[in-house]
Structure 1
Amino acid sequence: MTHWTLVTGANRGLGLEFVRQLLADGARVVATCRQPGKATALNTLAAEYPGHLKVLPLDVGDARSRDELVREWPLAAGENARIGVVINNAGVLHSGERFGTLSADTLEDSLRINVTGPLLLTQALAPLLIDGARVANLSSQLGSIAGTSRFGTPSYAISKAAQNMATVQLAHALRERGIVVVALHPGWVQTDMGGAQAREVPEDSVAGLRRVIAGLGIDDSGGFLDWTGAALPW
């Protein structure tokens, strides 16, 4: 039985770096993004690694798109193919929010993509997960309630705190199958979201995250860790 790694939001940033490193190590990867036709880097990798990379459309916040991914899975990956690792990386950060002008639309969009999307996608993929699989939800230290010391990026911070709770809920739901679910903070990384002033580069962050994921045991399930493996406060 073939085991695949599924990476969402894989057309750029950390998602793309996950795909690059996984392919270089011989893994089979299903990479998703909203517009595969425009994902030049992913399509180039697919040509370089024939049979090892499948690029599929997914808007993680859209129910029909999630359902379509599950329907397409056997056609893309193989009838008996299963998932060993899920990297729930797709996310959104709305910048420029100011107290006094916060909007319901921005909050709802953040929750739909950062919380509802990865939670319901993991639920939909559960029958395809091998027993003992690992689900990594890319969270953020900005979702730490105890670590919050200022007003800033409220929609993102609120949604990441909610995503952390979704991680714990999934950990309990999947524990009997030995499936480990964790929330991971990748550090402040130089991506479109993190900006050029960030401290870490994607290569180092993803290498660290992969080491953490590889070392996870069932006792780690439901945890909130950073890319070095250190526990973060809720």
Structure 2
Amino acid sequence: MPVRHCLVTGANRGLGLEFVRQCLARGDRVVAACRHPGKASALNQLAGLNPGRLRMLPLDVTDPKSHAELARELDLLGEEGEPYRLDLLINNAGVLHSGERFGRVSAANLEDSFRTNAMGPFLLTQALSEKLTDGATVANITSELGSIAGLGRFGTPSYNISKAALNMATALLAKALADRKIAVVALHPGWAQTDMGGDQATLPVADSVKGLLQLIDGLKPAQSGGYFDWRGERLPW
């Protein structure tokens, strides 16, 4: 199998870091993007163990200028004058503002959540679209909490709203990139045991990522624009 080139955002911890680990373990070349690569000790350790196969680049997913700079940095990674191409883009970076209560939800939280969880992945994919190979995959890490049909209670409103927006962004990107056979999907990782998942989370991070990568690898063209969990099951919009 040809070597795959992957880019993971929010790669310094949690799901993002595990995506980097598992992609490297299967032989991929990985670009790990996060705000402060120099402070990402686990990523730096992985880079030392995988010389030439893991590159770390800075990215503020909320800032379009940072998207453009990342695109320029990727150009420098091309080999022998060839343009750099990505086979898999994992839009994983996200934010959750906990403790929100109705009547006290702030505009600042709503704006930050939207910029990070929805606007960022959409604009980054747009900025990197020419770097994607025909037939590539874009995986947007969303949540079942972005499901309007599945809503059960009032909670984490800025997060839920932004993830619902990410789901629409996923469907739109799937339409925009369909002529190049690029699959774009919204993926719920389960209640994974990350800092964001909290103390009650039940799903090991390694199991979540393993399931998500299996789903990504097995995607069919008709599934582009879809909304799935880590087990491959469709979720209601």
The interval holding the TM-score normalised by the smaller chain is: over 0.9
TM-score normalised over the length of structure 1? 0.98
Conserved? CA contact 2:142–2:189, under 8 Å? yes
Q: Which residue matches 1:182?
A: 185
Deviations 1:56-107 (A, max 9, x none): 0001011111110001112135442210000000000000111111111110
Q: Secondary structure at the match of 1:76?
A: coil
Shift of 1:141: 0.2
Conserved? CA contact 2:3–2:28, under 8 Å? no
TM-score normalised over the length of structure 2? 0.97
Q: Which residue matches 2:152?
A: 149
Find the aligned partners of 1:64 and 1:101 in 2 and give their Cα distance. 32
The residue type equivalent to 1:139 in the other structure is T
Shift of 1:2: 6.6
Q: Which residue matches 2:94?
A: 91
Whether 1:104 aligns to 2:99 is: no
Find the aligned partners of 1:121 and 1:50 in 2 and give their Cα distance. 26
Q: Which runs of 5+ in 1 are unaligned?
A: none
Q: Secondary structure at the match of 1:150?
A: coil
Find the aligned partners of 2:47 and 2:5 in 1 and give their Cα distance. 15
Conserved? CA contact 2:174–2:224, under 8 Å? yes
Conserved? CA contact 1:4–1:81, under 8 Å? no
Deviations 1:38-57 (A, max 9, x none): 00000110110001000000
Find the aligned partners of 1:169 and 1:77 in 2 and give their Cα distance. 29
Moved more, 128-137 or 1-10: 1-10
Q: Which residue matches 1:138?
A: 141
Conserved? CA contact 1:180–1:218, under 8 Å? yes
Whether 1:207 aligns to 2:210 is: yes
The ranges of structure 1 where at least 4 consecutive aligned residues each deviate by more than 3 angstroms after the TM superposition are: 76-79
The residue type equivalent to 2:228 in the other structure is L
Q: Which runs of 5+ in 2 are unaligned?
A: none
The residue type equivalent to 2:76 in the other structure is L
Q: Secondary structure at the match of 1:162?
A: helix
Percent identity for Structure 1 against Structure 2: 64
Find the aligned partners of 1:95 and 1:136 in 2 and give their Cα distance. 25
Find the aligned partners of 2:145 and 2:15 in 1 and give their Cα distance. 17
Whether 1:7 aligns to 2:8 is: yes
Shift of 1:9: 0.1
Q: Which residue matches 2:163?
A: 160
The residue type equivalent to 1:102 in the other structure is V
The residue type equivalent to 1:185 in the other structure is H
Conserved? CA contact 1:7–1:89, under 8 Å? yes
Shift of 1:197: 1.2
| 2:231 corresponds to which of 219, 228, 231 | 228
Find the aligned partners of 1:77 and 1:212 in 2 and give their Cα distance. 28
Deviations 1:142-200 (A, max 9, x none): 00001001000000000000000000000000000000000000000000000121110
